[in-house]
Structure 1
Amino acid sequence: MKSAVVLLAGLCAFTAYYVYLPLPSTVSEPWRLMLLDASFRIAQQTCNLGHYLGLGHHLRLLNFIIGTFDKLNPQQAERVKITDTQFDGVEVRLYRPHAKEEKTLWRSVVYIHGGGWALSSTRGSFYNNLCSIMAESLDAVVISIEYRLVPDFHFPVQFNDVLRATRYFMRPEVLAQYSVDPSRIAISGDSAGGNLAAAVCQEMSQDQNETNRFKLQALVYPVLQAFDFNTPSYQQNEVTPVLPRFVMVKFWIDYFNGNYEFAPSMVVNNHTSLDVSQTNSFRDHVDWTSLVSARFRKNYKPVMPSTGKVEILQDIPSLLDVHAAPLLAKKEVLRFQPKTYILTCEIDVLRDDGIMYAKRLEEAGVEVTVDHFEDCFHGCMIFTIWPTNFSAGIRTRDSYIKWLSENL
């Protein structure tokens, strides 16, 4: 009996040690966030073990676990009409409000889901729930794009899938088919989906053959650059819940089908060191000492090695491709972007990606709204249904939808 008590006490202590993570005092529902993060870490470590044992790629295994867990979540009753179809060979899911008596055109949102270009689905309960609520709340047609995922496909497949489906939808005859007002269309996405939304918006804004243009873009904690993994938010949130720095670096490497051995060097910016000449023309575009306000810079210092590993960019040149890293775009491109909303969270390595992009857009003459949440964490907007229903998710989602409603 005594041994059992000691064993139980030891197990409890180990569990508490594994789950506990120091968090800022401002964070809402800290213990629930710690439990969510611990669940993610257990899943990731299990999948890494499975990868090592030859059971499959760790991301494919992780997506299987997420899909299995997702089935436990209740699918919301269909408040809107949901249709699965294809746009130019790319799978999409359409959410349409129930028809009004009067025949009017709908406004519309093209939405791209997050998940590190590797995880989640338009059909999963998290994004299905979000897009259903968007369509109902905005009284709008929502197009959710099911782009192909890492590790089966790598950049630029994801970008090309989203671009192809979006261009198809923006054709006048397709908009007419779905009764969409061509002057009231937004493109939007969260995390890696925000990356794809920004990149596609830039690409389409430069195409003189495009008949219709986006009225808005709305980016939710977007990942926009792989140049500097030591921005203040990366340093501050190095071991933050849900998306620690090293995990984000590995997502980038997986996106480009690169070598994991480069990860430790990339964490300390050896891939963009001063002796890597092809990076020099981009430094001003990610100079957070001028693009990020003192409020967010705090006392953090730039990490800019004088010498590094030139072989990283030789092996992964796409790290500097603007289709993968929209923050690297030239000012001449940025000035053609539509009115923009960027949601950022304090507890997020990607906070400064969004803040830098907002500043560069403003300098290019674009009207930008930055919606910053001091007590929220990366990914929170989709966590609004049991058992991951966070108040942070509901507040960020409602604020995002409110801006779209007022501006679209």
Structure 2
Amino acid sequence: MKSAAVVVAGLLALSAYYVYLPLPSTVSQPWRLMLLDAAFRVAQETCYLAHFLGFRHHLRTLNFVTGALDKLNVQSSDKVKITDTQFDGIEVRVYEPSTRGGEKTLKRSVVYIHGGGWALASARGGYYNNLCLIMAESLDAVIVSIEYRLVPDFHFPVQFDDVLRATKHFMRPEVLARYSVDPSRVAISGDSAGGNLAAAVCQEITQEENITRRFKLQALVYPVLQPLDFNTPSYQQNEVTAVLPRFIMVRFWIDYFSGSYDFVHPMVVNNHTALDVSQAGPFREHLDWTFLLPSRFRKNYQPVTPAAGQAEIIQAMPALLDVRAAPLLAEREVFRLQPKTYILTCEIDVLRDDGLMYAKRLEKAGVEVTVDHFEDCFHGCMIFTSWPTNFSAGHRTRDSYIKWLSQNL
């Protein structure tokens, strides 16, 4: 009996040690966040083991596991018609709110791109289905959620091309008319990797001369916008934080570009953008966070720019310098063409500074920008609004995001 008690106590201690993660004192519901993070780590490490043993690519397994749980919480509403269809061969899910009062009026619309490191999640899963459903009801808007193809079966630029094709199809006059959408009131939006795709597609469309209708707004939620500096203050501050630690974000980039995991550690220390890597030189000023970030975010952190690095990383993954993958690298002339923009950032997030630098570059180019920063929130929180991942941070960020769209779209 005493031995069993010792074993149980030991297991409890080990579990507590595994679950515990130092978090800022400002974070809301810290223990719930630690449990969520621990669950993610268990899932990821199990999938890595399956990959190592040769069963299946770890991202396919992880997407299967998280997707199975996600589908348990798919909501519906008698106020919104949901249709799965294709736009130019790309799968999409369309949310059409019921016509109020029987009047046939043109509605506003949002093209939404889900996150998940270009490799996880689905427009049909509970998290994003439920978000788009609430958006359709709250905004009385047609929401188009794009089901782009995922890593590891497809790599950059497939995801970008899928979103661009589906979006251009939707923006055709006859398609907008079919869904009773006002062509002058369409926004593009996305979170995390979806924010990356939204920003990149918005940049592309603003430069295409043969497109007559463009977005009124773009709304980017904790977007990932560059793979050249993994030592911005937010990357240094949140190196081992919950949900999205630095090395996981680096791995997502490498998977996106179908690169080698041997590059993970060199990229973490910015060896791919060292001073002797000439290919990265022209882009350094676009990422100069000592200038682009306010002092309260820079704090006492220092830039990490090695004198000597590994040029072969960029040679192996040239897409690291492609603006379609890294919208923050675009030139000022492209930024000048962007629509009114909303950027939501979280303090407990390695990607915080990507969003803040993008906002600053837009402002410098003369674009009206709203930065909605949450000191006590974490990466990915906006979709966590129902059991078993119900966070107050999710409700607050989602409501603030929808409020801005309602007031500006």
TM-score category, normalised to shorter length = over 0.9
Distance 1:16 1:48 in 2: 22
Match of residue 329 from structure 1: 330
Q: By how many angstroms is 1:67 displaced?
A: 1.3
Distance 2:204 2:74 in 1: 37
Q: Which moved more, 1:101-110 or 1:339-348?
A: 101-110
Distance 1:121 1:80 in 2: 19
Distance 1:79 1:147 in 2: 26
Match of residue 11 from structure 1: 11
Conserved 8 A contact 1:172-1:211: no
What does residue range 83-162 of structure 1 map to in structure 2 within 5 Å? Answer: 83-100=83-100, 101-162=102-163
Deviations 1:145-183 (A, max 9, x none): 000000000000000000000000000111011110000
Match of residue 39 from structure 1: 39
- Structure 2 stretches lacking a partner, 5+ long: none
Match of residue 281 from structure 2: 280
Distance 1:325 1:67 in 2: 27
> Which residue identity is paired with 1:29?
Q
> Which residue identity is paired with 1:288?
W
Q: By how many angstroms is 1:74 displaced?
A: 5.0
Match of residue 29 from structure 2: 29
Conserved 8 A contact 2:74-2:127: no
> Which residue identity is paired with 1:35?
L
> Which residue identity is paired with 1:260?
Y
Conserved 8 A contact 2:217-2:340: yes
Q: By how many angstroms is 1:99 displaced?
A: 1.7
> Which residue identity is paired with 2:215?
F
Q: By how many angstroms is 1:269 displaced?
A: 0.2
Distance 2:307 2:380 in 1: 35
Match of residue 170 from structure 2: 169
Deviations 1:23-64 (A, max 9, x none): 000000000000000000000000000000111000000001
Conserved 8 A contact 2:107-2:142: yes
| Secondary structure class of the residue paired with 1:71 | helix
Q: By how many angstroms is 1:79 displaced?
A: 3.5
Distance 1:178 1:71 in 2: 27
Match of residue 199 from structure 2: 198
Conserved 8 A contact 2:74-2:129: no
Distance 2:78 2:364 in 1: 43
Distance 1:173 1:392 in 2: 39
Q: By how many angstroms is 1:210 displaced?
A: 0.4
Q: By how many angstroms is 1:75 displaced?
A: 2.5
User: Percent identity between the aligned chains?
Assistant: 77
Q: By how many angstroms is 1:72 displaced?
A: 3.1
Q: By how many angstroms is 1:71 displaced?
A: 3.1
| Secondary structure class of the residue paired with 1:129 | helix
Q: By how many angstroms is 1:102 displaced?
A: 1.5
Conserved 8 A contact 2:74-2:125: no
Give the structure-2-normalised TM-score.
Answer: 0.99
Conserved 8 A contact 1:79-1:132: no
Distance 2:260 2:407 in 1: 45
Distance 1:71 1:186 in 2: 27
Distance 1:107 1:99 in 2: 12
Deviations 1:306-357 (A, max 9, x none): 1000100000000010000000000000000000000000000000000000
Conserved 8 A contact 1:73-1:387: no
Match of residue 241 from structure 2: 240
Distance 1:319 1:34 in 2: 32
Q: Which moved more, 1:274-283 or 1:219-228?
A: 274-283
- Structure 1 stretches lacking a partner, 5+ long: none
